[in-house]
Each structure stands twice: as structure tokens, then as C-alpha cells.
Chains A and B, each alone.
Chain A
Amino acid sequence: KAGVTQTPRYLIKTRGQQVTLSCSPISGHRSVSWYQQTPGQGLQFLFEYFSETQRNKGNFPGRFSGRQFSNSRSEMNVSTLELGDSALYLCASSPRDRGYSGNTIYFGEGSWLTVV
């Protein structure tokens, strides 16, 4: 069974640009979460999608957005990039249904974003 797939793996962007990251969850998983990881802040929750709806959102500015498609694939977008957005962006999928049951999340390999 294929794992969580994220693309692109590495990218470099310039301040002010925008970026879109893609995530394909494990087959059969309907929940997709996004996390940002930096050395200083650790792993921080961005948002979670289930059945094309955003269910949870972390404390990030509106420049960070996402969406989920009918096939559960998800994208996140960061507009007007800032130097501080340089981070590892991790997508995680879970079989979690509408009732939260503490299902385990499984991470993709991440997208390394550098903003210069």
C-alpha cells in the first residue's frame, strides 16, 4: 500500500511569491492534515480536511490556505511568501471518520520550502 505522497519535495521561492504544495493520502484515507515544522517552533498544525471540508484550523494567518478534492487529494497554498515561511511542510493522512476516534496519522516525506 502506497504511503502519503507529497510534491514537490524541494523548492525555492522568492519573497512575495506564492506556492502550492500537493498531497496524495494513503488509499482509503479521507482525512488530510497539514503541518509546518521549523527548528524554532517545532511541528505546528495548519489545518485538517475531511470530505472536501476544512474541519480544523491552526493559528496561522490567512495567507495559508488549503483545499481537498473529491478523491481526498489535498493542496495547500501560501501566498505572499515571507522569509519565515521557510520550513518543512508535512502532510498526514488518517482513516478518521466524522467521529473523532484518535486514529493514527501517517506522514508523507514532506516538502522543503526555502524562501529567499
Chain B
Amino acid sequence: QKEVEQNSGPLSVPEGAIASLNCTYSDRVSQSFFWYRQYSGKSPELIMSIYSNGDKEDGRFTAQLNKASQYVSLLIRDSQPSDSATYLCAVNARIQGAQKLVFGQGTRLTINP
């Protein structure tokens, strides 16, 4: 099992709808979770971080964390064509005795006008 798993997509959502991106992780003691957005040919940029169970909202973005079920999700409300990108979930995990930030493969999101 991979440490961090995401559906690679592509996920296609109409403009104005809610885009829902999901991520599961395997390390039960992980405490820090991040969502990054990466446009084609660009480097990842941070969208959200979340550390506690529940929801965290920032503008059109909401991150949801459920440690018991080991999943974290990202909701994008009122999706815009500019939201079309690959979204990377990142989780801190202890691997071979060392803390590392592990990334999922990313979900490619396309917002259709």
C-alpha cells in the first residue's frame, strides 16, 4: 500500500460546480496534511494545510480531515476554469524512522466552461 493515495483522474467538473478531491494515507500517526496545486509546467504551490479533524475553510477551498478513517479531502466551491490543475495531497509520515513529507500521485482536475 502506498503511503498516500489519490485518484489520478482526470476529474472533470462543470464551471460553477463543487470539485471534490480525495486522499487516503497509511501512517496512523500522521499529524500534518497539505494540499498543493500544480499547473502544467509549474512547481507546486500550497493551497491549504490542516492539522485537526474537521473542516478548514479558506475562500472557495475547504479541507476536510478524518484521522480515524485516514482520509483528507479538498472541496473547491464555485469551480473556475483557472482551477484546472493537478492537485497534490501531502502527508507527513514516519518512514524508516525519519519524518518525511510524502506526496500522492496527484489528481488532475479539469473545469469545463
Residues from chain A with a CB closer than 8 A to the CB of B1 are none
Given contacts A45-B100, A102-B32, A104-B49, contact A109 B88 (CB under 8 A): no
Judge whether A12 is part of the interface by a CB distance below 8 angstroms.
Answer: no
**A109 CA to B31 CA, complexed, in Å:** 27
**A44 CA to B99 CA, complexed, in Å:** 14
Range of interface residues on chain A?
Answer: 20 to 34
Provide the main secondary structure of the chain A interface.
strand
Judge whether A64 is part of the interface by a CB distance below 8 angstroms.
Answer: no
Q: Is the CB of B106 within 8 A of A42?
A: yes
Mark out the residues of chain B between 5 and 23 whose CB falls within 8 Å of any chain A CB in the assembled complex: none
What's the nearest-Cβ distance from chain A to residue B105, in Å?
4
Judge whether B82 is part of the interface by a CB distance below 8 angstroms.
Answer: no
Judge whether A63 is part of the interface by a CB distance below 8 angstroms.
Answer: no
Residues from chain A with a CB closer than 8 A to the CB of B42 are 109
Provide the main secondary structure of the chain B interface.
strand
**A108 CA to B92 CA, complexed, in Å:** 20
Given contacts A43-B103, A45-B100, contact A102 B31 (CB under 8 A): yes
Residues from chain A with a CB closer than 8 A to the CB of B88 are 43
Mark out the residues of chain B between 21 and 75 whose CB falls within 8 Å of any chain A CB in the assembled complex: 31-32, 34, 36, 42-46, 49, 51
Mark out the residues of chain A between 32 and 50 whose CB falls within 8 Å of any chain B CB in the assembled complex: 33, 35, 42-45, 48
Q: Is the CB of A109 within 8 A of B102?
A: no
Q: Is the CB of B99 within 8 A of A56?
A: yes
Given contacts A43-B103, A45-B101, contact A102 B45 (CB under 8 A): no
**A105 CA to B46 CA, complexed, in Å:** 8
Residues from chain A with a CB closer than 8 A to the CB of B51 are 102
8 smallest A-B Cβ distances: which pairs?
A: A102-B32, A43-B103, A107-B43, A42-B105, A56-B98, A100-B99, A110-B43, A109-B43
In the complex, besides A42-B106, A88-B43, A107-B44, 12 extra interface pairs with C-beta distance below 8 angstroms are A35-B103, A42-B104, A43-B106, A44-B103, A45-B101, A45-B102, A48-B100, A56-B98, A56-B99, A100-B99, A104-B34, A107-B36
